[in-house]
């Protein structure tokens, strides 16, 4: 299993993140092509090599046309823009989650509803480009580098004051602190904004704390911010890592390694029963739970006392995420309580790979059974995209991928 670790010794912003991803190897032209399909104009993406305190980094910035107009937008307007393009499905979902997190944070700070929140700075073209561009870049890393999770090693925020559409506000901005609730942060020694609301929303929606996990760094990328700080280089560092001790080992995308036994571990299982919530709200609840790190979320129809129809919500989580996800259930549903249990888990060793079909390359998940046999199952999003391009039914692509061979080799590309 590969992780992308955000290391934020000088903070994080949207443009710093995009620059770090490009520095790591994400092709900027790939990002440009994906963003070009959004109904946005009046901007261009520029890439510049820079040095911050002797550290070489990449600065990717959004240059706005002088005569372009950038209206304030509500959340629904931003989501319409994102959905009107042709972003990869995974990148679209992430982008929607980031902006939804921003809307909830702004609503909490201003004590208003999400529907009434006006995005000012974060509703401008540059913020939409930054967030959607970052999500496209992350999607590229997941597809091409087998990244499966995003983690955060440290977050350093600033202090002092700054100016916004609302006037002078404290640093960190209130929306930033709202988004980082529950995260360990460190305050800088000097004044200046280190973590922007956009950067905080990216972390809150997509990543989890690294905590004490041990990783092996494969390569790094550095994204530069626009400002210079005297006490530290203003760069965001992203690390492409293997998790040390995990049974999911690094592999090439076209080969399967020698069989490995299944892995065991403990997961938290959260359960709650709800009989008084508006049905449409369940989808939003599921989105929030996944955004906060849930491994799985599912709903089961049940009957409670007096034969009342109800729904049991079950959440599977890593042990360190249980309390945060319990808070999500309590804050974003009508439940009055959550039951928590810890259960043993046995998993097959698995990894992502690719197979070649007449419809193109399809991503598959490869599992190794205890007896050494290998099976693979096509990934839905990869099948869907290939089917749309070829203009054929999903089943045709699925069967072609299922019948394609994943080549086994006695040599291993795994890191020992």
pLDDT at 166: 65
Q: What is the pLDDT of residue 261?
A: 41
**Please, are residues 141 and 135 in contact by the beta-carbon 8 Å criterion?**
no
Can you list the domains of the chain with their CATH numbers? 2-243 (no CATH), 255-260+348-408 (3.10.20.300), 263-347 (3.30.70.1380)
- Residues 299-356 have pLDDT tens digits of 999 998 888 999 999 999 988 888 899 999 999 999 999 999 888 777 777 788 888 8
Whole-angstrom Cα distance, residue 133 to residue 112?
29
Q: What is the mean pLDDT of residues 34-43?
A: 92
pLDDT greater than 60 at residue 132: yes
Q: How far apart are CA 120 and CA 108, in angstroms?
A: 16
User: C-alpha distances in angstroms, 250 versus 149, 220, 323?
Assistant: 14, 17, 31
Task: For residue 375, count other CB atoms closer than 10 A to its CB.
Answer: 14
């Amino acid at each position: 299993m590969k992780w992308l670790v955000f290391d934020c010794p000088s903070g994080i912003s949207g443009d710093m993140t995009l620059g770090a991803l490009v520095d790591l190897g994400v092709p900027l032209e790939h990002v440009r092509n994906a963003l070009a399909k959004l109904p946005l104009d009046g901007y261009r993406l520029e890439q510049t090599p820079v040095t911050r305190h002797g550290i070489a980094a990449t600065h990717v910035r959004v240059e706005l046309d002088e005569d372009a107009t950038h209206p304030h937008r509500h959340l629904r307007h931003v989501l319409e823009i994102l959905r009107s393009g042709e972003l990869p499905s995974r990148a679209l979902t992430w982008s929607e989650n980031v902006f939804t997190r921003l809307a909830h944070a702004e609503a909490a700070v201003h004590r208003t509803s999400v529907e009434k929140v006006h995005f000012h700075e974060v509703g401008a073209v540059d913020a939409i480009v930054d967030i959607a561009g970052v999500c496209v870049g992350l999607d590229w890393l997941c597809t091409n580098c087998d990244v499966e999770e995003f983690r955060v090693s440290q977050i350093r925020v600033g202090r002092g004051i700054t100016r916004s559409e609302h006037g002078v506000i404290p640093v960190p901005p209130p929306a930033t602190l709202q988004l980082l609730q529950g995260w360990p942060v460190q305050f800088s020694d000097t004044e200046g904004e280190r973590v922007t609301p956009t950067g905080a929303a990216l972390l809150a929606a997509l990543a989890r704390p690294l905590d004490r996990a041990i990783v092996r760094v494969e390569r790094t990328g550095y994204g530069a911010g626009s400002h210079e700080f005297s006490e530290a280089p203003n760069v965001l560092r992203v690390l492409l890592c293997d998790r040390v001790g995990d049974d999911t080992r690094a592999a090439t995308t076209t080969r399967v390694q020698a069989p490995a036994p299944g892995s065991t571990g403990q997961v938290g299982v959260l359960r709650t029963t709800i009989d008084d919530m508006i049905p449409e709200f369940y989808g939003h609840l599921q989105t929030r739970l996944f955004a906060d790190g849930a491994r799985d979320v599912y709903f089961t129809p049940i009957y409670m006392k007096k034969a009342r129809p109800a729904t049991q919500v079950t959440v599977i989580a890593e042990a360190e995420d249980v309390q945060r996800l319990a808070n999500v259930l309590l804050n974003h549903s009508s439940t009055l309580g959550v039951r928590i249990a810890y259960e043993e888990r046995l998993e097959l060793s698995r990894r992502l790979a690719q197979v070649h079909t007449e419809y193109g390359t399809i991503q598959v998940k490869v599992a190794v059974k205890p007896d050494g046999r290998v099976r693979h199952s096509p990934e839905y999003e990869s099948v869907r995209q290939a089917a749309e391009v070829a203009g054929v039914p999903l089943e045709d692509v699925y069967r072609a991928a299922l019948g394609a061979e994943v080549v086994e080799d006695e040599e291993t590309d795994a890191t020992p």
